[in-house]
Structure 1
């Protein structure tokens, strides 16, 4: 499968990301301006600047996405639920939450399902998109499959590879494995380490419907140039 999308369609697969601890207001203003200009699907941010970015993107189709339990996933279900609710109240259109990786490594699948259902139910109730971050760099293939099998039942909108803050980012093999497991029930988001057009296209070809990256402008401009040469 080759990537044969218009520039607009390609841009609409990108979550333009700014999750740095030292990001300032001017950085978020730049992020939102770029998202408007290039037509990215979403700005991916921590939950604190949701109100600011929602205001900056008013009267724009660009979504505001809040990262929950980020980046370690090591908060309680109730803490993640509260953060999710608050982010939605502040204007978030999408929620990307990190699973409790420790519980998964301990084999506590009931906890993983309970946590996922809690967050996804909050999002569904408010008609907000939900994404489950596996942090695949720390998981075995069997553990990745188990989370994706749970997702098939709970039905978040997406399962997502990594935070970009772990030991490694997205891989083609992980995207393929996740897509094969969830099938058509759930979409896949690839994030972490996607810094050029080739990698972005590889992820889409592997089955990713959404891409999270901070190199969004560089990648979309590479795609614009490529499409211009072809056309």
Structure 2
């Protein structure tokens, strides 16, 4: 099992999130990209303002590592226009993967039409530009029933509006890693939530993100059936250690 080929190596913290300076944040992103070149991860997942830097470094190294970014992150409440504008900007910059945050709060309120429109239009924009699209549902904010319902909604929209050969390019993704849970409860992928997603997403693939920090956890997720793992503990996963990041 080549674990590196499943890993979306991730750094999404802004200076405000981390308490670091802009320069320190830049250096963390550079180190992430350098590690990706050495260890040949599937992808680096970064903020859009670093896409150009990543593309330049990867091209110079003749690396096949891809570049992904997040859209309407981390809350997903910006609305359709914001989602599409951010996605188009990322496309123009050369991103390969677009990880949208579903407006899960609107979904929980029963605003299914607006959520459906976002999923349809965001997916359409990504696929028309030959990008991988992922929809982050934020499992820690949802009940089991809502996980099933939102995963099923995404699947139905894709199956009803796109061709079968597009299905592998639209993922359902578990978490942002930024959701604040009470009492230290998991804020990312758990075996329980991933099983619910897998059972209801097929034939769409699933990405487990948030909380996968060890080699065994990554192997367990892959054995369940996930096709990608989003993590900032990529080196720990590859080299048998344990990451200390929340993502």
Q: Same fold (TM over 0.5)?
A: yes
Is the CA contact 1:120–1:154 (under 8 Å) kept in the aligned structure 2?
no
Distance 2:105 2:196 in 1: 21
1:151 positional shift: 1.8
**1:176 is aligned to 2:169:** no
Q: Which runs of 5+ in 2 are unaligned?
A: 16-23, 159-168, 182-186, 242-247
C-alpha deviation, 1:97, in angstroms: 0.8
Corresponding residue for 1:102? 105
Q: Residues 80-119 of structure 1 correspond to what in structure 2 (within 5 A)?
A: 80-119=83-122
SS at match of 2:94: coil
Q: Matches of 2:212 and 2:12 in 1, distance apart?
A: 15
**1:34 — aligned with what?**
35
Match of 1:15 in 2: 8
1:57: which partner in 2? 58
1:207 aligns with 2:207: no
Q: Which runs of 4+ in 1 moved over 6 A?
A: none
- Structure 1, unpaired ranges of 5+: 224-231
**1:124 alignment partner in structure 2:** 127
Q: Which has the higher contact order (CA 8 A, sep 6+)?
A: 1
Instruction: Say whether 1:79 aligns with 2:82.
Output: yes
Maintained 8 Å contact 1:46/1:70: no
Matched, 1:138 2:141: yes
Of the three residues 195, 204, 224, the one matched with 1:186 is 204
Q: TM-score, normalised by structure 2?
A: 0.84
How many angstroms does 1:201 deviate by?
1.6
What per-residue deviation string (whole Å, max 9, x for no partner) do you get for residues 147-198 of structure 1? 2112212336110000111121110111111111012x20000010111112
User: 93-102 or 199-208, which moves further after superposition?
Assistant: 199-208
Q: Residues of 1 paired with 2:199 and 2:32: CA distance?
A: 33
TM score, norm. by length of structure 1 = 0.89
**Stretch moving more, 136-145 or 124-133:** 136-145
Match of 1:161 in 2: 174
- Counterpart Cα distance in 1 of 2:109 and 2:154: 18
User: Distance in 2 between the 1:132 and 1:93 partners?
Assistant: 15
Deviation (angstroms), 1:57: 1.3
Query: Considering only aligned residues, what root-mean-square deviation do their CA atoms show, in Å?
Result: 1.3
**Structure 1 CA distance for aligned equivalents of residues 132 and 66 of structure 2:** 10
Take 2:240 and 2:14, find their aligned partners in 1: how far apart are those partners?
28
Of residues 120-129 and 101-110 in structure 1, the stretch that sits farther from structure 2 once superposed is 101-110
